[in-house]
Amino acid sequence: MLIIGVAGGTGSGKTTVVQQMVHEFPENEVTVISQDSYYKDTSHLSYEERVKINFDHPESIDFDLLEKHIKQLRKGITIDQPIYSFVDHNRTGETVPTAPSQVIIVEGILILTMPKIRKLFDIKVYIDCDSDERLIRRLKRDIVDRGRDMNEVLERYQNTLKPMHQQFIEPTKAYADVIIPTNRFNKVGVKILRTIIDQKIA
């Protein structure tokens, strides 16, 4: 079993790279775990209070549960991965059974910030992307997919996303074994990563 951590800023193209990696392998040989599923349960807060949470700070992530689940997958145990709603800013209370496989990919902006999580990865990948490109992608995603207001997204980018990226996310590039630039569709980077994975699991 090989466990890969894929990090990078919001809108950097992590999901695209992960999808490309999944397509590189036979069906059921790759399991994907998203950091977004592990935002802390905030059911005790009102919606108005949840909206104000800084979801780009490491404190917003339930790293204890994420660590537990990664270790269980390593042991061959199926986990119940939480489901998170970006509309309600909270977990839905439902879970999805997630079985272990030969390759496990854990992706998220903050997964390399925590030492106890970093040490669980056999390969650490950082997806690098220009900040303007990331902002454009974030605008499209939040407005179209998550029903957010443009002014709200821009204000959050200036006040939260950008400073959190500079403080917590960008520095984790130093921990990466592989850095993949994604200003353009980068098939070569994914192919190189596939070669590294094949060598590791051979």
164: how many CB neighbours lie within 10 A of its CB?
Answer: 21
% of the chain surpassing 70 pLDDT: 96
- Report the number of distinct structural domains present in the chain: 1
Report whether pLDDT(8) > 80: yes
In which order are the strands placed within the sheet that holds 30-34? Answer: 30-34, 103-107, 2-8, 123-128, 178-181
CA 45 to chain centre: 24
Residue 174 pLDDT: 96
Q: What is the mean pLDDT of residues 72-101?
A: 91
Q: Do residues 7 and 127 lie in contact, with contact meaning Cβ atoms separated by under 8 Å? A: yes
104's enclosing H/E stretch is: strand 103-107
Find tokens 């119940």 and name the residue: 80
Q: What is the mean pLDDT of residues 21-49?
A: 89
Supply the pTM of this predicted model: 0.87
Q: Do residues 113 and 169 lie in contact, with contact meaning Cβ atoms separated by under 8 Å? A: yes
- 38 vs 53: CA distance, rounded Å: 14
Q: What are the tens digits of pLDDT across the range 112-134? A: 999 999 999 999 999 998 777 77
79's enclosing H/E stretch is: strand 79-85
Q: Do residues 55 and 106 lie in contact, with contact meaning Cβ atoms separated by under 8 Å? A: no
Beta strands in the chain (DSSP E): 2-8, 30-34, 79-85, 90-98, 103-107, 123-128, 178-181
Q: What is the CATH number of the domain that holds 173?
A: 3.40.50.300
Report whether pLDDT(21) > 90: no
Non-local (6+) Cβ contacts of 98 within 8 A are: 31, 33, 69, 73, 78, 79, 80, 81
Query: What is the domain range of residue 94?
Result: 2-201
If one compares 162 and 134, the residue with the highest pLDDT of the two is 162
Coil vs helix vs strand at 201: helix
- 123 vs 75: CA distance, rounded Å: 18
Structure tokens at 134: 């990331």
